[in-house]
Chains A and B, each alone.
Chain A
Amino acid sequence: MPKYLCMQRNLPGGESRKPSPAEMQEMYSKFRAWQEKFQANLVDMGGKLGAGKLVTESAADGPFVEVKELVGGYMILSAQSLDEAITVARAFPGLVHPGSGVEVIEIRTA
């Protein structure tokens, strides 16, 4: 089954209000339900992305993009089609923060 790379991106102008503990509890429960529902699609839950460098022939430089600002985290899904992967990603609870989006990209191995 094809695999898809999902990258969480923080959108400009997104809501930055911190969730309250009660809201966190709700997000946590929704996340559990989501995970259960799409268990078969979840290949690698991935993680958050930290510091990085751009490595070229001559040097390690950068990073040229502020990774932290653009990408919150990544994970890898398996799905029959891009549409199915999008369905799974769209159901991702609250996308952790309101005002963030998930970029879904096919990983071509053949």
Chain B
Amino acid sequence: MSTPQLVEHFFRHEYGRLVATLCRRVGAQHIEVVEDAVQSALMAALESWTVSGAPDNPSAWLFRVAHNDVVGHLRQRTRRRRLLEQYTKEAIDTGEKGSELFLAQEVQDDLLRMLFVCCDEGIPEPSQLVLALKTLCGFDIREIALRLFISEANVYKRLARARSQLRKFPPRTDGPSEAQITSRLPAVRKILYLLFTEGYLSSHAETAIRRELCNEAIRLTSILAEHPLGQTPETFALLALMHLHAARMPARQDGAGGLVLLEEQDRDLWDREEIQVGLALLARSAHGDVFSRYHAEAGIAAEHCLAPSLQETRWDKVVEFYSLLERSAPSPMHKLNRAVAVAEWKGPAAGLEVLDGFEPPTWLVRSYIWSAVLADLHRRCGNAELANRYRKLACKAAPTSAVKQLLQHRLQINKQTIPRYG
């Protein structure tokens, strides 16, 4: 007897699928009962499959076990209240009829529906993100804390807020309406974007962990992009930018886990296939008259992917996209990035000019990024004293040793370029 191999992330993805499907059947207000049942079903699978082998259809097995558990719980609860709640009864009835039947499309629909449930207007954004990681990606509280750099208590608090909102859900089982889906699309895209950037920009030492978040974001965004209601130019632009960034991930870290400057990255390591997928999506996003921040960011990422070297990058195009980005999503960070691109295009003095008279908010002043850019631009302009001052500030504010090393390396080497995280 041998125990069969299961696909990568089987347990985590089954968790997301089961929570989504069961929440649709019994209503998201029962999410706690659902999550407990799914957890138990997975545990039962682990114990039973390792002893007697996995069943022919592991997903159906899991569904049956989790479903029976949920139904049992809800029945008990209903009995206890001596109130036969119509919705529970209905859910149980329909559930039993179709417990074996689910099609791939239905699963995709369920996951998408759950994503929209997570982005309910009544749930604060930080809680939306945590709820999505918990329910759709199957991470537990400890794993989420590790990935978002927050305490477990904080994760728990955010999750509790989300759940208390879900409990207020009307006793209906069919989830958000089409109109709600359309109006919630921007919020859903924002959460997917956050999920991706948490993985992409974080300076977490472990590449695998960061890559995992990016992959999850791509997986969920792909589901959105395949769904008739989610197929908008902005969704395609978002997915394009994820693929274009993911393409460069293999070159962003050296063997020791340190970050590698864009100019020093081995461009042969960039994933050509990912770039092609990204560019095809970018082409699909160029419809209609909406130009979103995702379009601008995907455009910037595409310019980097297409440039044969840092020097041959079309910096004028990059600057143009940053200007568009500032317009569609004003942020001091985008201005700073534009200054960096202008410095590449027209020289460091022109870069500093962009920041002339600009009063950055405190959070930016305190971050290493602000000091690092100024240190570099001043160094290249020959303002040694200012450059030195900003370099010290940048190193002091560096959040991790990987970043600190990168800064020390970048701000001392005598090259006519600027620090960029590829």
Chain A interface (Cβ within 8 Å of chain B)?
A: 18-22, 24-25, 27-28, 31-32, 35-36, 39, 42, 45-48, 73, 75, 96
In the complex, are the beta carbons of A22 and B143 less than 8 A apart? yes
In the complex, are the beta carbons of B11 and A25 less than 8 A apart? yes
C-alpha spacing A20/B142, complex, angstroms: 9
In the complex, are the beta carbons of B50 and A22 less than 8 A apart? no
In the complex, are the beta carbons of A24 and B2 less than 8 A apart? no
C-alpha spacing A35/B266, complex, angstroms: 42
In the complex, are the beta carbons of B12 and A21 less than 8 A apart? yes
In the complex, are the beta carbons of B51 and A46 less than 8 A apart? yes
In the complex, are the beta carbons of A22 and B138 less than 8 A apart? yes
Q: Which residue of A lies closest to B13 (CB)?
A: A21
Q: List 14 A-B contacts (CB under 8 A).
A: A20-B143, A21-B15, A21-B138, A25-B6, A28-B3, A28-B6, A28-B46, A32-B50, A45-B52, A47-B51, A47-B52, A73-B51, A96-B46, A96-B47
Q: Add 12 more A-B contacts to A24-B42, A32-B50 (CB < 8 A).
A: A19-B43, A20-B138, A21-B12, A21-B140, A22-B9, A22-B12, A24-B43, A24-B46, A25-B11, A31-B3, A45-B1, A73-B47
Question: In the assembled complex, how far is the CB of residue B51 from the closest CB belonging to chain A, in whole angstroms?
Answer: 5
C-alpha spacing A18/B3, complex, angstroms: 23
**Which residues of chain A come closer than 8 Å to B3, judged between CB atoms?**
28, 31-32, 35
In the complex, are the beta carbons of A48 and B142 less than 8 A apart? no
In the complex, are the beta carbons of A24 and B50 less than 8 A apart? no
Q: Which of B113-146 contact A (CB under 8 A)?
A: 138-140, 142-143
**Which residues of chain A come closer than 8 Å to B9, judged between CB atoms?**
22, 25
In the assembled complex, B39 has its CB within 8 A of some CB on chain A: yes
Size bracket of the B interface: 20 to 34
**Which residues of chain B come closer than 8 Å to A42, judged between CB atoms?**
1
In the assembled complex, B110 has its CB within 8 A of some CB on chain A: no
**Which residues of chain A come closer than 8 Å to B49, judged between CB atoms?**
28
C-alpha spacing A110/B355, complex, angstroms: 90
In the assembled complex, B376 has its CB within 8 A of some CB on chain A: no
**Which residues of chain A come closer than 8 Å to B42, judged between CB atoms?**
21, 24
In the assembled complex, B14 has its CB within 8 A of some CB on chain A: yes
**Which residues of chain B come closer than 8 Å to A48, judged between CB atoms?**
47
Q: Which residue of B lies closest to A72 (CB)?
A: B47
In the complex, are the beta carbons of A35 and B2 less than 8 A apart? yes
Question: In the assembled complex, how far is the CB of residue B194 from the closest CB belonging to chain A, in whole angstroms?
Answer: 21
**Which residues of chain B come closer than 8 Å to A47, judged between CB atoms?**
51-52
**Which residues of chain B come closer than 8 Å to A21, judged between CB atoms?**
11-12, 14-15, 42, 138-140
Q: Which of B1-36 contact A (CB under 8 A)?
A: 1-3, 5-6, 9-12, 14-15
C-alpha spacing A39/B2, complex, angstroms: 9
Q: Which residue of A lies closest to B36 (CB)?
A: A18
Question: In the assembled complex, how far is the CB of residue B41 from the closest CB belonging to chain A, in whole angstroms?
Answer: 11
In the complex, are the beta carbons of A45 and B51 less than 8 A apart? yes
Cβ 8 A contact of B5, one of A19, A20, A32, A39: A32
In the complex, are the beta carbons of B47 and A25 less than 8 A apart? no
C-alpha spacing A21/B11, complex, angstroms: 5
C-alpha spacing A47/B48, complex, angstroms: 8
Q: Which of A21, A27, A31 gathers most chain B CB within 10 Å?
A: A21
**Which residues of chain B come closer than 8 Å to A75, judged between CB atoms?**
51
Question: In the assembled complex, how far is the CB of residue A49 from the closest CB belonging to chain B, in whole angstroms?
Answer: 12
**Which residues of chain A come closer than 8 Å to B46, judged between CB atoms?**
24, 27-28, 96
C-alpha spacing A25/B6, complex, angstroms: 8
Q: Which residue of A lies closest to B6 (CB)?
A: A28
Q: Which residue of A lies closest to B138 (CB)?
A: A21
Q: Which of B33-68 contact A (CB under 8 A)?
A: 39, 42-43, 46-47, 49-52
Given the known interface contacts A25-B10, A31-B50, A48-B47, the answer about A20 and B2 at a Cβ–Cβ threshold of 8 Å is no
**Which residues of chain A come closer than 8 Å to B12, judged between CB atoms?**
21-22, 25
Given the known interface contacts A27-B46, A46-B51, the answer about A22 and B2 at a Cβ–Cβ threshold of 8 Å is no
C-alpha spacing A21/B51, complex, angstroms: 19
Given the known interface contacts A31-B50, A46-B51, the answer about A22 and B5 at a Cβ–Cβ threshold of 8 Å is no
**Which residues of chain A come closer than 8 Å to B142, judged between CB atoms?**
20
C-alpha spacing A36/B14, complex, angstroms: 25
Given the known interface contacts A24-B11, A25-B10, the answer about A18 and B51 at a Cβ–Cβ threshold of 8 Å is no
C-alpha spacing A60/B6, complex, angstroms: 44
**Which residues of chain A come closer than 8 Å to B10, judged between CB atoms?**
25
C-alpha spacing A70/B315, complex, angstroms: 69
C-alpha spacing A42/B2, complex, angstroms: 11
Given the known interface contacts A28-B46, A31-B3, the answer about A20 and B140 at a Cβ–Cβ threshold of 8 Å is yes
Question: In the assembled complex, how far is the CB of residue B392 from the closest CB belonging to chain A, in whole angstroms?
Answer: 41
